[in-house]
Structures are given as structure tokens and as C-alpha cells.
Copies of this chain bind each other. A is one copy, B any other.
């Protein structure tokens, strides 16, 4: 179901005769570090071409390629990768033969053609993630995707050892999305000069913003490919305010910003696991105005023929997520995640998936955004989930070498990831459509799928008994909950990670027309353990 947007070129397309392919179309590229896959649907195809080294290839040379299959045509921008090598990458939305022809203002790059034989997606390749069912997500092949994210903002600006350790940690962690910055951070616990910079020049401040450093981007791509192979979406943060002028990547001119954004998209767009996050805490970047963000969102959108998920994350001031170029609302607001009745409110105003990309972090730093207890972190996850929204994790536990997972990666030392893994397991068997509020604005702590599946979350309360009752989603739908339907209940201890089935099967009575809730025939209650952080999973039992 991949929707591809045809990229409009400013210059008219020059028809090119198919000739024998002179381009290198390989699954292994010897001259950079990207690990290309076999040629498969939603894989990464790459055309490499030798070209001019003189002048400034980053600004002097335009290169694009048209990829086509019967009835389908996509134009993607290429880029200069240094050492006289130019590349065009393509993520084929379907299997079969894909022909390509290049277009360039440079003769030796123009009119080159060839083809790729693309096979169906294999193994864990489900394609890029798309919005599905208004508030939820699925991979392009229809497999549900329920984001359980974390943050390692600056993980690709660390030592090789630390980066490898981060990958190892992620391989055993529950997270399927990672927020990560392109540029390095200069911030408390983050005062490290990276090995590579995005531009040619001399650190910390002397940059030629017209010349990119291919090695920097090759490294970034290697890490994104490794996340892809771990089944993790890379929520790539294009700008952030944690530079504060040290390197000046936060205060480039509009032209420089645009050139950088286009170059980034031309390099990363063919990675199926890439999401675009225009910024972290966009409003803390005092050098940019709302109009700049509006423009940059457009630049990314117009450069990206794949329609990757796109968002922008706030500090104190929300961006207007009704912008149709944003696919979902990426929101920092810890307080909204404290209570499902708060979290649910954003759904109504945006009618898009609500991804709480910052709800404060488990940790022990003095700053109030980084010292949640693990219990509170897990609690917020459940509040967001029953509200039909998606929370994000982060960890700020002090470390003798200032290696906090939140930003630099390393190892997870908190108590919440194991409980978040439990929640992820619960969601894996929850309805594919996503958890929806059942009776929004009325019964905040119940989400699910009307008539089929309910999660009831009790938070810090420890009720001794719970009267079996299901809220009605639509009182005018007589099929939703009808007398005689049977339900099985599991008691979930979200902290102690236990699932305790309840022996009784509950048979509901026929609701009266005006009833807001439906009880079982006997009006039964069930006993609960004397713990906080309990939830119930109530699942319809088929009639026979």
C-alpha cells in the first residue's frame, strides 16, 4: 500500500535512450559503508556513477534518476558521495523489473540507464511504516506497527565502541523506534567532540556549509541500516537546539538549511525505516521562526518521493500539527501522559496518530524532566496506550562517565524497559487496528476495540474488587454488546509482569437502550490483588 509521490523536477525531464547500464548497481558497495540488501521490494537500490571532482560537486552538479515500471514512475534525487562518485538510491515499492535513466546537467552523468530485478520482500522486511486507521500505524505490507520508542539523541556521535554497545543493547530491548539527531549535541552530560562532522571544515566553527562530508553521512547510514536490521525505525531529527552556537549547525542560513535537508533526504530517503523529525524542541531554536519550519517541512516533503512519516517535536510551544504535510503529532508533554484523560484530548484536535515523544524520562538527574521513577514511566506508558496514543521512553540515570542512555546510548540500567517489553507483548496480540478509547471523555481508563477487546487500567489505585462492566462505544449500535456475549478476563500486573487468567467466563446481559455500561448477567465483581499498576485484559470469547 505504499503511496509514492512523484517528485516534480524544476527542469523538464530529458528523454534518455536506454543503453547498457554503465552504472554500478550492486548489492554490495565497496566504496562506502552502507550495507545494501539484495534487490527486494522496499529494499535499497543504488546506482553509482563516476563523475566530476572539480568545482563544488555538491552545488554544481544536479543528478536525478527516473525509476519506472509499467504504469509507475518515480523520480529521485541523487547526491555526490565524494571521491568522484555520484549515487542515486531508490526504494522500490513493488517487485518486478525496475528500469532507470539518469538526468544530469553534467554529460557524463546524464542519460545513463539500466534496470534492477526486484524480488518480493523477504523475512522481516514489511516496508516503510504508514499511518493507518487515522490514529495508528502499519507497515506498507499491512503488518501492524505499534511504536514503542526510546531516545538516544546523539548516539551516532559517540565512539565506535559505545555505538556498538548501543546497538547490542537495542537488540535486546523492547524498542522499535529510536529518536536520533543527525548533528552532535553540546549539552550537560554531552560535552564530547564527535569524530566526524557533516560539513567540510575545521571544528568547532569553521565550516564550508556548501560542502558536505560524505564520511559523516556514510557513518550515519551504516547506523540507520543497522537499526533497520534490528527492526527499529529511525526517527531522524534533522535540527536541534543543543548546539547553542558551538558548531553553528543550529544557526545556518535558510539556504544552507534547505541544501542540507535536501542532501539528507537524497541520501536517507531510500531507507525504509527512516522517519523525518524536523526538530527536537523546535521552539527552543531561537534563530528560526515558524515560517522557517513551515518551509523546511515543505522542502523535506518535496524532496521525499516516498512520503516517509514526518513530524516536528516541541519544547514549550506546540507546532500546528494540523499542517497536512505532517503525518502525525510528535508531542513533548509529560503532564499529558500522566492521565489518559489528558492524553486523549490531542487525538480530537489533530485527527492523526499522537506520538508522545517525550513524557519525561526514567532517571535521577536534578532536572525535573529526567527523574521519573520507573513505576511512573511505566504508568505513563499505560495511560497513553489506553488513550489510543503512543508514548516514548528515555533514561537519564547518572553515570560516572556521563553516558546517559537518553542521549549517548550505551546500556539500559533502568527498571522500566522490562515492563515496557511486557506492554509490547500485550500489544502484539491486541487488535491490529490499534487500541481506541471506548467512551472518550467519559471513561478515560478503558481502551480497546468495542465488543471485542478491552484494556482497563487502574494506575496507582488498588481496588479490591472490580464490578464487571464494559463501557459502550456507540449506544445506537445494537451489535456492539448484546446479551449473551461472553468475555474472558486476564488480570495483568504491569509492574510484576504477570498475567493471571480469571476462571469465570462473564456473560453479559442485554443492555437497555440508554445504558452507558453493560454488566454481566449476575452483576458480578471480580477480586483483585492488593497491588497498584494493575490492568485487565477483557477479550470476547467466540460463541463456540
- Residues of B near A346 (CB, < 8 A) are 345, 349
24 A-B residue pairs with Cβ-Cβ distance under 8 Å, sorted by A, are A316-B441, A317-B348, A320-B322, A320-B349, A333-B345, A334-B441, A335-B341, A335-B441, A335-B442, A335-B444, A336-B345, A336-B441, A338-B341, A339-B341, A339-B342, A341-B342, A342-B342, A342-B345, A345-B345, A345-B346, A349-B349, A349-B350, A366-B514, A368-B442
Task: Give the CA-CA distance A322 to B319 in the complex, in Å.
Answer: 12
Q: Which residues of B contact A338 (CB under 8 A)?
A: 341
Instruction: Judge if A421 is at the interface, Cβ distance under 8 Å.
Output: no
Interface contacts beyond A322-B322, A349-B350: sample of 11 additional A-B pairs, CB < 8 Å, sorted by A: A316-B440, A316-B441, A318-B348, A318-B349, A335-B341, A335-B441, A339-B341, A339-B342, A342-B342, A345-B345, A368-B442
Which of the four size classes fits the interface of chain A? 20 to 34
Tell me the chain A residues, 488-544 only, with Cβ under 8 Å from chain B: 514, 516
**Which residues of the partner chain B approach A334 to less than 8 Å between Cβ atoms?**
441
Which residues of B have CB within 8 Å of A366?
514
Interface centre among A322, A335, A346 (most CB of B within 10 A): A335
Name the B residues within 8 Å of A341 (CB-CB): 335, 338-339, 342
* Residues of the B chain whose Cβ atoms lie less than 8 Å from the Cβ of A339: 339, 341-342
A337-383 at interface with B (beta carbon < 8 Å): 338-339, 341-342, 345-346, 348-350, 366, 368
Residues of chain B within 8 A of A440, CB atoms compared: 316
Q: Closest CB-CB distance, A438 to chain B, in whole Å?
A: 13
How many monomers of this protein are in the complex?
A: 2
Q: Shortest Cβ distance from A470 into chain B, in angstroms?
A: 16
**Nearest chain B CB to A226 CB, angstrom units:** 35
A431 CA to B283 CA, complexed, in Å: 28
A369 to B, closest residue via Cβ: B442
Report the bound CA distance from A329 to B335 in whole Å.
22
Chain A residues packing against B (C-beta within 8 Å): 316-318, 320-322, 333-336, 338-339, 341-342, 345-346, 348-350, 366, 368, 440-442, 444, 514, 516
Greatest chain B CB density within 10 A among A320, A342, A350 is at A342
Q: A440 vs B332: C-alpha distance in the bound complex, in angstroms?
A: 13
A350 cross-chain contacts in B, Cβ below 8 A: 349
Q: What residue in chain B is nearest A317 (Cβ atoms)? A: B348
- The answer to whether B516 and A368 have CB atoms under 8 Å apart is yes
Expressed in whole angstroms, the Cα–Cα distance for A318 and B442 within the complex equals 16
Closest to A366 in B: B514
The CA-CA distance from A514 to B366 in the complex, in Å, is 9
**What residues of chain B lie closer than 8 Å to A349, measured between beta carbons?**
318, 320-321, 346, 349-350
CA distance A314 to B116 in the complex (A): 53
Chain B residues contacting A336 (CB-CB under 8 Å) are 345, 441
Contacts of A322 in B (CB 8 A): 320, 322
Smallest Cβ-Cβ distance to A349: which chain B residue: B349
CA–CA, A37 and B340, complex, Å: 52
Which residues of chain B are within 8 angstroms of A348 by Cβ–Cβ distance?
Answer: 317-318
Complex-state Cα separation, A484 to B273, whole angstroms: 56
Give the contacting residue for A441; candidates B320, B333, B442, B444; CB below 8 A: B333
Considering the chains assembled together, what is the distance between the CA atoms of A317 and B134 in angstroms?
A: 14
Query: How distant is the Cα of A316 from the Cα of B334 in the complex, in angstroms?
Result: 25
- Chain B residues whose CB sits within 8 angstroms of the CB of A444 once the complex forms: 335
A21 to B224, CA, bound (A): 79
Contacts of A333 in B (CB 8 A): 345, 441
A342 to chain B, nearest CB (A): 5
Which residues of B have CB within 8 Å of A320? 322, 349
Alpha-carbon distance A317/B338, docked complex (angstroms): 23
- Determine the residue in chain B with the shortest Cβ distance to A443: B335
A360 → chain B closest CB, angstroms = 10
The answer for the CA separation of A336 and B339 in the assembled complex, in Å, is 11
A338 to B316, CA, bound (A): 23
Residues of the B chain whose Cβ atoms lie less than 8 Å from the Cβ of A318? 348-349
**A321 and B320 alpha carbons, distance in the complex (Å):** 11
